Amino acid sequence: MGVSAKYILQALEEIKANGTKQSLIAENKKQSLYLDYPELKRFDEQIASVFQNAMKSVISGEKVDFKAAEAKSLEIQQQKKEFLEKNSIDLSKVSPLFNCKKCSDTGYVNGKICDCVIKTATALSYNELNKDVDLERYTFEKFDLNLYPDREIEGVNSRELMTKIYNFCVKYADSFSNKAESLFFFGKTGLGKTHLSLAITNVLCKKGYNVVYGPISKVIGNIEKEHFSKDEQENTIDNVQNCDLLVLDDLGTEFSTPFVVSTVFDIINTRILNNKPTIINTNLEFDELEQKYSARIVSRISGNYRMLKFIGEDIRIK
Ligand SMILES: [Zn+2]
């Protein structure tokens, strides 16, 4: 599972910035405390000098009595402790207020990225996605199965079928892994395809997966812009190819040019080859997709995706 590197870096910066800020604040408080209690400053300087002297000796190759140095340091620390107690000084009030106790807001624990960085990065990517789509509106809880008629349409009971699809999607999101299968949602407009794919997106984003969601026109538009401007800053294509889950909404609504057709094929094909799951939504029938793209794309999709046909009446009207 991987949050995009862009958000990891951004999170690291934010966390370190807070660490530096808190350390500075704590240092100011300590200096102010030293003005009230010069003895305290002397204790701290003495403790520091014990170690500095030992280090100097090590560097100049002299023999160092570490035991004696440690004993000396402990002795001063004990005096300091007694002094603090006598004057009722609470040192915790001048120590830095870090958000993360594990890494003291450095972002690293034993050379490894701290959990707090992943958590922050996940939240950042979720917010970024939320800027374009109001993710909170599209949850499983807000999906209303009663909007589907409890009668036969095209040979199946619409509500029963949609209940099965709904349950399938809930399970898909719950048990998602990098080995999850790809899904193809098709059927007429207004049957909840976007809602269910965003509900899956919602769950996975909160779990820390890197999900790229976008109406196909927007995704392709970004790639096209970057392709022709050679913009090094953005890397939509990398992210689209490598994210944990790619959700392409409204396939077939974009204006098709040879560039678009080959890019769409590339994205779909590369993700299949790399065993990366993708969810595609479309209002088009297979023959329409074949006409718009190619038989090649349709055969790649039908051979590698689980097909879920949505049947009912436009729920947006209700
Ligand atoms: Zn941390």
pLDDT digits (tens, 9 = 90+) for 45-72: 999 998 888 888 888 888 888 888 899 9
Q: Rounded to the nearest whole angstrom, what is the distance from the C-alpha of residue 192 to the centroid of ligand 1?
A: 40
Lowest mean pLDDT among 29-43, 150-164, 249-263: 249-263
Q: Rounded to the nearest whole angstrom, what is the distance from the C-alpha of residue 93 to the centroid of ligand 1?
A: 21
Q: Rounded to the nearest whole angstrom, what is the distance from the C-alpha of residue 305 to the centroid of ligand 1?
A: 39
| Structure-model confidence comparison of residues 317 and 312, the more confident one | 312
Q: Rounded to the nearest whole angstrom, what is the distance from the C-alpha of residue 221 to the centroid of ligand 1?
A: 37
The topology (CATH level 3) of 133-309 is: Rossmann fold (3.40.50)
Residues of the chain with CATH 3.40.50.300: 133-309
Q: Rounded to the nearest whole angstrom, what is the distance from the C-alpha of residue 19 to the centroid of ligand 1?
A: 10
For residue 81, name the pLDDT band (cuts at 50, 70, 90): very high
Q: How does pLDDT run across 134-144, given as a tens digit for each residue?
A: 888 999 999 99
- Determine the Cα–Cα distance for residues 20 and 117; give it in Å rounded to an integer: 16
Q: Rounded to the nearest whole angstrom, what is the distance from the C-alpha of residue 63 to the centroid of ligand 1?
A: 38
Q: Rounded to the nearest whole angstrom, what is the distance from the C-alpha of residue 13 to the centroid of ligand 1?
A: 12
Q: Rounded to the nearest whole angstrom, what is the distance from the C-alpha of residue 105 to the centroid of ligand 1?
A: 5
Q: Rounded to the nearest whole angstrom, what is the distance from the C-alpha of residue 98 to the centroid of ligand 1?
A: 9
Q: Rounded to the nearest whole angstrom, what is the distance from the C-alpha of residue 9 to the centroid of ligand 1?
A: 14
- Predicted pLDDT of residue 230: 65
Q: Rounded to the nearest whole angstrom, what is the distance from the C-alpha of residue 95 to the centroid of ligand 1?
A: 17
Q: Rounded to the nearest whole angstrom, what is the distance from the C-alpha of residue 118 to the centroid of ligand 1?
A: 9
| Centroid of chain to Cα 233 | 19
Q: For 272, how many CA atoms within 13 A lie in the half-sphere containing its CB?
A: 17
- Predicted pLDDT of residue 233: 58
Q: How does pLDDT run across 191-216, given as a tens digit for each residue?
A: 999 999 999 999 998 888 888 888 88
Q: Rounded to the nearest whole angstrom, what is the distance from the C-alpha of residue 109 to the centroid of ligand 1?
A: 7
